[in-house]
Amino acid sequence: MVKHFNVGVGAVCRAVDGVSFEIRAGETVGLVGESGCGKSTLARVLTQLTPPTSGRVVFDGVELTGLRGESLRQQRKHLQMIFQDPFASLDPRMTIGDIIAEPLTNFKVMRGKAKDARVQELLRVVGLNPYFNNRYPHEFSGGQRQRIGIARALALNPKLIVCDEPVSALDVSIQAQIINLLEDLQAEFHLTYLFIAHDLSVVRHISQRVLVMYLGKIVEIAPSDDLYAHQYHPYTKALLSAVPLPDPRVESQRRLVELSGEIPSPLHPPSGCRFHTRCPIAQVPGVCSEDEPPLEEKAVGHFAACHLSERVRTDLS
Amino acid sequence: MTGSVNDPVLEVKGLSTSFFTDDGEVKAVRDVSFDLAAGETLGIVGESGCGKSVTALSILGLVARPGRVVAGEILFKGRDLLSIDREELRQIRGRDIAMIFQDPLSSLNPVHRIGAQIEEAMRAHDKIASREVRPRGLDLLRQVHVPDAARRVRDYPHQFSGGMRQRVMIAMGLSNRPEILIADEPTTALDVTVQAQILQLLRDLNRDLGTSIILITHNLGVVAGLCKRVIVMYAGEIVEEGSTEQIFDAPQHPYTWALLRSLPRVDADRHERLRSIEGLPPDLIAPPPGCKFNPRCPFRLERCFREDPELEPVGDGHVAACWVTMKRAHAEMGAGSLVDTGPGAASGVRPPIAPEAPDPSGADGQDVESETQDRG
């Protein structure tokens, strides 16, 4: 999949470039990477909120990228999204009952008493008082608003929910409540999640598989435990080495894999491997600045796009 | 730096700061006392609204209306910052005590070059010869590892990345060689790899220049990596204080203990359900009587509803404000194997007055909060 944004005067922003992956039913796939790596663009293309420049999105056997108008709208029922900011993603002038009922109204699934009952059921499911349906978003805390956003996403019994940084705006004690809720709902309603976050600890906790993105490309994909046990891409290694741990002893022995420079502009991505300008082990000039590394299977189910993946383990640990 | 490590450079005594709003007095900080020794790194942790930032702003006399410091003393080398005149305080602020904030972009002036802003910070306090200003500004940028500093002093803030802007803020903070640097969530807006670099920079400054650092953050991992001593705040009060090892290895306040357990860890070896803390922090206009954590505490006793616990010693240089403390919770209430983390779950103490049935038309915020429950 490719998403280029035309940003005027002949410049093209390659936000997502040549990305391919699959999500299996019932699975939670984590997507990590730093600001500007393309993770939110990828989510928007996946849900067809933004059309891709080229490439296909196939959902449950249906090619979404080929659909237009009403047929695309019908598919959206199965594909919902939870957003980062629980303050911006709820209309302040609607009651939470109306907010949660909106998808039901839009798709004419239910009306009258049945709809009211469904709203109350959804509130109960996300751990809120079912009689709060007449209140407005400002009466709720951040964690409670995120519960309201989750109830809205659940209203149409979707198959896939794309969670874009759903807990990063929440306090630590509330974050755990929402993560537990998402896990309970997944078990109860057989949901599939694409979980986007910059917090690697949260992603490790909730995901079975993890995708790591850098500058519009997927650089590594692996089952969560494998990825955290060993890395085949130096960027993943650097990311993990930088995660602060609530443990002074581990912290005092931290070995940071330092990246030089800053993330390049996606308007002019580097040649060859996009990471070579910051990579601690790159051969420049050489293979890394000339050839783009393909995403290859380095161990069972563990893919990485690096020419020197063997050296990641020997030189960087 | 002069003075031994035991000499406090800053003493905060009985600090209380309130915001006088239309809805009532919000007691944002209540009776907070602590010392900062020369060359020390102190972390203040807690969640939104716990009073950690207001404590920092109170130290520098920066609390904005309708807030004001209502009680206490803030002694910087023996002088009370709350009773000196504005001009004296202005001289100390920036020269002796500097502060850096979470969002470097809104702290920098977008229409002035980076170099000019650092020079302004220097001129504000020191009588410095004009020809020395520029080279010293350049030195500062090099000190905080801004690459190609000679060229970049001519850049504007928008040409800097988030991490580089935070380095500029630190350079400005250091421009007068302050004895204390207060960093309020300095890495929260930054990516994890950049965060690690900024923390390394703060560590180096503390080691090489002897600058005392107060780090204010919600991120327990950041504190573990930088600070020697930690203060935990909840609902405007200090609930626990100790060395970093004491706080992380053997927390004695149930809030600290629960906070540490609720974190997913990147180095966890198996998947366990997160132990969340149920409910929400209290309303600071009308906090609950007794211990402020009692509505969420699994170990609460009858006494916790009536009497507010004071900070008591629980170890060498380790204090906690709790009638139970985790020592007893582990010994008598099986805290180590606790699965249900609901209020009163371990002690069996329910509220003395049964809560009223949910009122469908009820409009006060309090009952909205008490109704949220963690499922399962």
Contact B191, A198 (CB under 8 A): yes
Query: pLDDT value at position A275?
Result: 95
Q: Could you list the pLDDT tens digit for every one of the 317 residues in chain A?
A: 676 666 555 567 777 888 889 999 999 999 998 888 888 889 888 888 888 888 888 998 888 888 888 999 999 899 999 988 888 889 999 999 999 999 999 999 988 999 999 999 999 999 999 999 999 999 998 889 999 999 999 999 999 999 999 998 888 888 999 999 999 999 999 999 999 998 899 999 999 999 999 999 999 999 999 999 999 999 999 999 999 999 999 988 888 898 887 788 888 889 999 999 999 999 988 999 999 999 999 999 999 999 999 998 888 86
Cβ within 8 Å, pair B200-A256: yes
Å between A73 CA and nearest CA of chain B: 32
- What does the pLDDT look like over B301-360, one tens digit per residue? 999 999 999 999 999 999 999 999 999 999 999 888 888 888 888 888 876 554 444 444
Query: pLDDT value at position B356?
Result: 46
3-state secondary structure of B32: strand
Say what the pTM is: 0.88
User: What's the CA gap between B91 and B222, in Å, rounded?
Assistant: 31
In chain B, which residues have their Cβ closer than 8 Å to the Cβ of A188?
none
Å between A214 CA and nearest CA of chain B: 13
- The position carrying tokens 């008591």 is B312
Å between B98 CA and nearest CA of chain A: 25
In chain B, which residues have their Cβ closer than 8 Å to the Cβ of A244?
195-196, 199, 219, 221-222, 224-225
- What does the pLDDT look like over A172-227, one tens digit per residue? 888 999 999 999 999 999 999 999 998 899 999 999 999 999 999 999 999 999 99
Pair of tokens at residue A299: 């161990």
For residue A285, is the peptide bond before it cis, meaning its omega torsion is within 30 degrees of 0?
yes
Task: Catalogue the E-assigned strands of chain A.
Answer: 3-6, 12-16, 28-32, 58-59, 62-63, 79-82, 160-164, 192-196, 209-214, 217-223, 296-299, 302-304
In chain A, which residues have their Cβ closer than 8 Å to the Cβ of B271?
205
**B47 has a chain A CB within 8 A of its CB:** yes
Query: pLDDT value at position A7?
Result: 55
Cβ within 8 Å, pair A251-B371: no
- What does the pLDDT look like over A105-138, one tens digit per residue? 999 998 899 999 999 999 999 999 999 999 999 9
Cβ within 8 Å, pair A127-B258: no
Cβ within 8 Å, pair B224-A247: yes
Angle, vertex CA B276, rays to CA B266 and CA A78, nearest 5: 80
Cβ within 8 Å, pair A177-B200: no
Find, in chain B, the residue whose alpha carbon is nearest to that of A124: B375
Cβ within 8 Å, pair B245-A248: yes
Pairs of CB atoms within 8 A across A/B: 152
In chain A, which residues have their Cβ closer than 8 Å to the Cβ of B220?
172, 246
Q: Smallest Cα–Cα separation from B5: which of B45, B39, B35?
A: B39
**Domain ranges (residues) in chain B:** 103-177
Of A34, A184, A201, the CB nearest to B193: A34
The DSSP call for residue B282 is: P
